[in-house]
Amino acid sequence: MKVLREIYDFITGGSIAAPIGLAVAILAVILLGHDEFSSYVFITLILLTLLAATREKTA
Amino acid sequence: MNGWVLGGTTFLASAVEMVEAATIVLAVGITQGWRTALTGAAWALLALGVIVAILGPVLARQGAITWLELIVGPFMILFGIAWLRKAIWRAAGRKAMHDEQAIFDREVAALQSARDNRVGFATSFQGVFVEGLEVAVIVVTFAATQPLLLGWSIGGAVVAGLVVGVAGFALRTPFSKVPENAIKAIVGLMLLSLGTFWTGEGLGIAWWFGDATLFSLVVLYAAGATGLTISKRWSIAP
């Protein structure tokens, strides 16, 4: 369990918001298609993920 | 994709991680002797080299195909967010700046009580390996998506390692004046932008300006990160 936690922290920096936000952004593109609009949605969601990650408790 | 972009990113990532590793190696060298410190560091570099030498060409041979971009891209995004948010926290004053001198003093104090050379070897090995592992992962993932530029990404990391290693050995003091946070912010921005670009390509998005879209992403994320830093400063200010 501790090893899994270490791997998770190594990849995400201990953030919970980052993987969730990224998954939502990828899902949005899959659902919306590959046009220009979905690229804007994708980038906006990544920016919102960064915002959410910076609002988390300091690691 | 331009080789300078990948080489520059691995150079900066490697430089900032090796600065941190050099502090630990210096502490071991001063307290337990340079032979122990350099042996530990050399074994760690060898282990990292083996990881890159095995995984880099294997992934590079797969070619820059969609499924690899879909695996590598999200990793880059997560790495980028992790680097960037720490840089934002530090720039905004929410997290203490990385103080190499304080880390050096702490390591020296801990090592002075340890008589066994194996502790020094393990500390040196772990310091270099842990700090270098993220760079190794970055280099390997770059190789997966841009196989023709494998030399650039390895070269950037190796040059940075050499520069920091030689400077550290010559100066024999911690690099307390290196602007680590600014470098970390740049690396975070590059990883986030490259990750977004590759994930988008993997998902089938046709980017507006082709490869040049990467620079638009860097500018956009830099503006976002600057805005977040300013807003965090305001929210923390009394």
Q: What is the ipTM of this complex?
A: 0.93
Q: What is the mean pLDDT of residues B42-64?
A: 81
Q: Do the chains contact at B85 and A49, CB–CB below 8 Å?
A: no
Residue B1: pLDDT band (50, 70, 90) is low
Q: Is A46 exposed, middle or buried (0-12, 13-18, 19+ CB in 10 A)?
A: buried
Burial B114-123 (b: 16+ CB within 10 A, else e): eeeeebbbeb
Determine the Cα–Cα distance for residues B136 and B82; give it in Å rounded to an integer. Answer: 16
Q: Which residues of A touch B217 (CB under 8 A)?
A: 43
Q: Do the chains contact at A39 and B200, CB–CB below 8 Å?
A: yes
Evaluate if residue A27 carries a pLDDT over 90. Answer: yes
Q: What is the mean pLDDT of residues B124-132?
A: 89
**Which amino acid, B126?**
Q
User: How many residues does this entry show for chain A?
Assistant: 59
Phi, psi angle pair for B63, to nearest 5°: 85, 160
Q: Do the chains contact at B78 and A12, CB–CB below 8 Å?
A: yes
Alpha helices in chain A (DSSP H): 2-12, 17-32, 36-55
- Residue of A35, A34, A17, A18 whose CA lies nearest to B192: A18
Helix (H) or strand (E) holding B89: helix B66-92
Q: What percent of chain A has pLDDT over 70?
A: 97
Q: How far is B89 from chain A (nearest CA, A)?
A: 7
Establish if A31 touches chain B: CB-CB under 8 angstroms: no
Determine the Cα–Cα distance for residues B139 and B57; give it in Å rounded to an integer. Answer: 11
Q: What percent of chain B has pLDDT over 90?
A: 23
**Which amino acid, B137?**
V
Q: How far is B178 from chain A (nearest CA, A)?
A: 22
